Amino acid sequence: MLNLDKNTTDRVNQWLEGDYDEATKTAIRQLIDTNQTEELSDAFYRDLEFGTGGLRGLMGVGSNRVNKYTLGAATQGLSNYLKKQYPGKQIRVVIAHDNRNNATTFAQIVADVFSANDIYVYFFDALRPTPELSFAIRELDCQSGVMLTASHNPKEYSGYKAYWNDGGQIIAPHDKNIIAEVNAITSVSQINFTPQPAHIEKIGAEMDVLFLDKVKAVCLNPDAIKAQHDLKIVYSPIHGTGITLVPQALKAVGFTHVSLVEEQCVIDGNFPTVVYPNPEEEEAMTLSLKKAKAIDADLVMATDPDADRVGIAVKNNHNQFILLNGNQTGVLLFNYLLNQWEAKGKLKGNEYIIKTVVTTYLIDKMAAAKGVTCYNTLTGFKFIGALMTELAGKSTFIAGCEESYGYLIGDHVRDKDSVVSCTMIAEMAAYYKTQGKSLFDALMDVYLTYGLYQENLLSVTKTGKSGAEEIAALMSGYRSNPPATLGGRKVVIIKDYQHSVEKNLLTGTETVIDLPKSNVMQFITEGDYIVSARPSGTEPKIKYYVSVNTKLNSVKDYDQQTAGLNALIQSLKADLL
């Protein structure tokens, strides 16, 4: 069969001869008849990996694609695990989906398989944001949930995110145990696709109302919103689920002048107006910025397709719109929340915030100044959610964030939430406007108080098996022969999260890192420059997170000092590559 290795050929034959539908077999034969060797090889050379966050991949036929059968196997494996965890109990799950092509069909398949396994399914009647799924799991006292989404990946992708009973993405030990159950599904005959319609209940508007009530309850300064209700806000859902709740949430808290980017309010899994549906990318914000300039907006916000992340743009001191990075938005939010909690007498000494180890340490500095505990978790909001669950009833949660544009204010969910984030960002803009300031002015105030911090992310992609080996060699080298200096400054602390060891090179002392093991290395220099190296677990890619800082004496020095820090960031990167 064409020029395929034996393992790939065996998988192709298994699908052609097995109990797969005729449309699938026809699609495979067409690939064979048209000599699509490369496509066949990529579609069948392995089974699509059910990782610790679920599935994500290209849509199409094959064992390495997102389709009816790979989703069915994932759901059957999850169902089997749930039955072992809750013997004799009526298990309940929630299912939601984003705007991806085939999302409705895929969600129905997942609902059918759950119901076929005697699991009761609450099924959202149309697309909804990821955070509402997390909320619904908690609200309906469910044991699990699934979100059909590929986040900000290109249109060819789909995905499957699995959640546990606290509304957070699945973590240890459940993650590895579920993976084992999914891997045990070796034949399509082991998947029960025959639905029990009586086990599927549609939900929708009533859950929206409950969710929006929680969002409104987070508001700290309703008077500021009332005074600036006509704040000029531009919002785009980038063709995704944000359109279902973000405009409603902004209206619910009192904003009356929200201008939508109409071209991007069209729900379309082809994302026709962008190259990449990611609010981190300037290109994806082009239409939003165009509209903002046309109406002289105060604030620009855009959410990713499943509406768990938000990117914003504000006017700088040159009256030009600039995109803030995820760290800067997080700094603004945390500074506002900490100051407002303090001003309103809400800080009782038992409050905490959470961020990830690769998110700006300016936030740690701000929290310390207010006497608020700042926890650092591994990368991934699932770890923030898990810590919230662990601390529930013991301490008071204020907010959580990660540098990749994910924020949570309030404890109504266990995942990042762009809906509540958009309302709080807008409230923050309204509050500062009542003080005669912009969000950029507020950011400068933070820098003047705590220091000017600049962060940058470098993602290096290698290719194939050799690329993965090269990245492994890099990480091994960082451990066996770590850099003595970075950016001209001596490295004083090395944190190895894989071996759970933090070593102070000045004193020679070692301390245990009390976090799950992760293949991350972190180097801290004199003056608290920080470089973190983190390989991807699923592809030959390594990410470098770099943070530098300096004192800012005057806003007029900001541009010059930022340029200097950016040059410094490049030198730190060069020292590691």
pLDDT in tens, 346-364: 999 999 999 999 999 999 9
Active-site choice (79, 144, 151, 438): 151
What's the mean pLDDT in 246-251?
Answer: 98
Which of the four pLDDT bands, split at 50, 70 and 90, describes residue 427?
A: very high
pLDDT in tens, 371-402: 999 999 999 999 999 999 999 999 999 999 99
- In the prediction, which pLDDT does 539 show? 66
Tell whether the model's pLDDT for residue 130 goes beyond 90. yes
- In the prediction, which pLDDT does 545 show? 95
What's the mean pLDDT in 188-198?
Answer: 97
- Looking at the structure, tell me whether residues 307 and 373 fall in a common domain: yes
- In the prediction, which pLDDT does 537 show? 66
- Looking at the structure, tell me whether residues 375 and 515 fall in a common domain: no
Lowest-confidence region among 171-180, 385-394, 444-453: 171-180
- Looking at the structure, tell me whether residues 54 and 185 fall in a common domain: yes
Which of the four pLDDT bands, split at 50, 70 and 90, describes residue 148?
A: very high
Quote the domain boundaries for residue 475.
452-576
Tell me whether residue 564 is exposed, middle or buried, using C-beta atoms within 10 angstroms of its C-beta: 0 to 12, 13 to 18, 19 or more. Answer: middle
**Residues in Cβ contact with 177 at an 8 Å cutoff, skipping those fewer than 6 apart:** 81
Which of the four pLDDT bands, split at 50, 70 and 90, describes residue 435?
A: very high
- In the prediction, which pLDDT does 53 show? 75
| Tally of helices (H runs) and strands (E runs) in the chain | 18, 23
Tell whether the model's pLDDT for residue 464 goes beyond 80. no
- Looking at the structure, tell me whether residues 152 and 222 fall in a common domain: no
> Distance between CA atoms of 288 and 262, rounded to whole angstroms?
10
Higher pLDDT, 54 or 515: 515
Of 450, 466, 501, the domain-final residue: 450
Tokens found for residue 497? 């999260």
Mean pLDDT of the chain: 95
Please check whether residue 315 is in contact with residue 438, taking contact to mean a CB–CB distance below 8 angstroms: yes
CATH of the domain at 72: 3.40.120.10
First-to-last CA distance in the chain? 42
- In the prediction, which pLDDT does 542 show? 93
- Looking at the structure, tell me whether residues 381 and 285 fall in a common domain: yes
CATH of the domain at 548: 3.30.310
- Looking at the structure, tell me whether residues 241 and 356 fall in a common domain: yes
- Looking at the structure, tell me whether residues 53 and 98 fall in a common domain: yes
The number of distinct structural domains making up the chain is 4
Please check whether residue 165 is in contact with residue 183, taking contact to mean a CB–CB distance below 8 angstroms: no
Which of the four pLDDT bands, split at 50, 70 and 90, describes residue 345?
A: very high
Please check whether residue 562 is in contact with residue 452, taking contact to mean a CB–CB distance below 8 angstroms: yes
Please check whether residue 188 is in contact with residue 69, taking contact to mean a CB–CB distance below 8 angstroms: yes
Residue 108, CA distances (Å) to 70, 135, 161 in order: 14, 20, 15
Q: Is 151 a catalytic residue?
A: yes
> Distance between CA atoms of 569 and 315, rounded to whole angstroms?
24
Beta-sheet pairing, 489-496 with 406-409? unpaired
- In the prediction, which pLDDT does 484 show? 94
- Looking at the structure, tell me whether residues 456 and 542 fall in a common domain: yes
- Looking at the structure, tell me whether residues 361 and 459 fall in a common domain: no
pLDDT in tens, 7-42: 999 999 999 999 999 999 999 999 999 999 989 999
Q: Which of 125, 130, 14 is nearest to 69 (CA)?
A: 14
- In the prediction, which pLDDT does 573 show? 83
Tell whether the model's pLDDT for residue 231 goes beyond 90. yes
- DSSP-H helix ranges across 68-221: 68-85, 103-116, 130-139, 174-183, 205-217
- Looking at the structure, tell me whether residues 228 and 96 fall in a common domain: no
What's the mean pLDDT in 532-550?
Answer: 87
- Looking at the structure, tell me whether residues 336 and 436 fall in a common domain: yes
Tell whether the model's pLDDT for residue 1 goes beyond 60. no
Strand partners, 200: 121
- Looking at the structure, tell me whether residues 308 and 439 fall in a common domain: yes
pLDDT in tens, 297-342: 999 999 999 999 999 999 999 999 999 999 999 999 999 999 999 9
